[in-house]
Structure 1
Amino acid sequence: MYPQPIQKAGRFANISYRVALPISIVLWLLPLIAVMMTSIRSIEDINKGNYWGWPDGVYLVENYTQVFASTAMGQYLVNSLLITLPAVAGAVALSTLAGFALAKYKFKANIWLFAMFIGGNFVPFQVLMIPVRDLTITFGLYDTHWALIIFHIAFQTGFCTLFMRNFIVGIPDALIEAARVEGVSEWKIFRHIVLPLVRPALAALAVLVFTFIWNDFFWALVLVQSDEVRPVTAGLSSLQGQWLASWQYMSAGAVVAAIPPVILFFTMQKHFIAGLTLGATKG
Structure 2
Amino acid sequence: MFPTPVQKAPAWVRHAYTIILPIALIVWLLPLIGVAITSIRPSGDLAAGNYFGMPSRFAGFENYTAVFRDSPIGWYILNSFKVTIPTVIGAVGLACLSGFALAVYKFRANLIVFFLFVAGNFIPFQILMVPVRDMTLKAGLYDSISGLVLFHVAFQTGFCTLFMRNFIKSLPFALIESARVEGVSEWRIFRYIVLPLMRPAIAALSVLVFTFIWNDYFWATVLVQGQHAMPVTAGLYSLNGQWIAAWHLVSAGSIVAAMPPVLMFFLMQKHFIAGLTLGATKG
Range into which the TM-score falls when normalised by the shorter chain: over 0.9
Q: Distance in 2 between matches of 1:4 and 1:95?
A: 36
- Residue 151 of structure 1 corresponds to 151
For residue 240 of structure 1, report the CA deviation from its aligned partner. 2.2
Q: Cα gap change, 1:165/1:281 in structure 2, threshold over 3 Å: closer, same or farther?
A: closer
Q: State the SS of the aligned residue for 2:122.
A: coil
Q: Distance in 1 between matches of 2:252 and 2:32?
A: 11
For residue 11 of structure 1, report the CA deviation from its aligned partner. 1.6
- Residue 81 of structure 1 corresponds to 81
Q: Distance in 2 between matches of 1:2 and 1:218?
A: 37
Structure 1 unaligned spans of 5+ = none
How do 1:123-272 residues align onto structure 2 when only pairs under 5 Å count?
123-272=123-272
TM-score by length of 2: 0.95
1:256-281: CA deviations, max 9, x gaps?
A: 01000001101111213544478989
- Please tell me whether residue 9 in structure 1 is matched to residue 14 in structure 2: no
- Residue 119 of structure 2 corresponds to 119
Q: Distance in 2 between matches of 1:200 and 1:101?
A: 19
Q: Distance in 2 between matches of 1:265 and 1:274?
A: 13
For residue 143 of structure 1, report the CA deviation from its aligned partner. 1.2
Q: Distance in 2 between matches of 1:5 and 1:117?
A: 35
- Residue 103 of structure 1 corresponds to 103
Q: Distance in 2 between matches of 1:207 and 1:68?
A: 27
Q: State the SS of the aligned residue for 2:268.
A: helix
1:126-168: CA deviations, max 9, x gaps?
A: 2221221122222221111101000000000011111111111
1:196-254: CA deviations, max 9, x gaps?
A: 22222111111111111111111111111111110000001112233210000000000
Moved more, 272-281 or 220-229: 272-281
**Segments ≥4 residues shifted beyond 6 Å:** 277-282
Moved more, 57-66 or 137-146: 137-146
| Percent of paired sites with the same residue | 60
Q: Distance in 2 between matches of 1:93 and 1:125?
A: 23
Q: Distance in 2 between matches of 1:273 and 1:102?
A: 25
Q: Distance in 1 between matches of 2:143 and 2:273?
A: 40
Structure 2 unaligned spans of 5+ = none
Contact 2:204 2:273 in 1 (8 A): no
Q: Cα gap change, 1:162/1:130 in structure 2, threshold over 3 Å: closer, same or farther?
A: same
Q: Cα gap change, 1:152/1:61 in structure 2, threshold over 3 Å: closer, same or farther?
A: same
Instruction: Look up the equivalent residue of 1:82 and give its one-letter code.
Output: K
Q: Distance in 1 between matches of 2:83 and 2:209?
A: 12
Instruction: Look up the equivalent residue of 1:185 and give its one-letter code.
Output: S
Q: Distance in 1 between matches of 2:169 and 2:280?
A: 17
Instruction: Look up the equivalent residue of 1:244 and give its one-letter code.
Output: I
For residue 6 of structure 1, report the CA deviation from its aligned partner. 2.1
TM-score by length of 1: 0.95
Contact 2:207 2:272 in 1 (8 A): no
Q: Distance in 1 between matches of 2:64 and 2:127?
A: 37
Q: State the SS of the aligned residue for 2:160.
A: helix
Instruction: Look up the equivalent residue of 1:88 and give its one-letter code.
Output: V
- Residue 51 of structure 1 corresponds to 51
Instruction: Look up the equivalent residue of 2:142 and give its one-letter code.
Output: Y
Q: Distance in 2 between matches of 1:222 and 1:277?
A: 38
Q: State the SS of the aligned residue for 1:121.
A: helix
Q: Distance in 1 between matches of 2:261 and 2:7?
A: 34
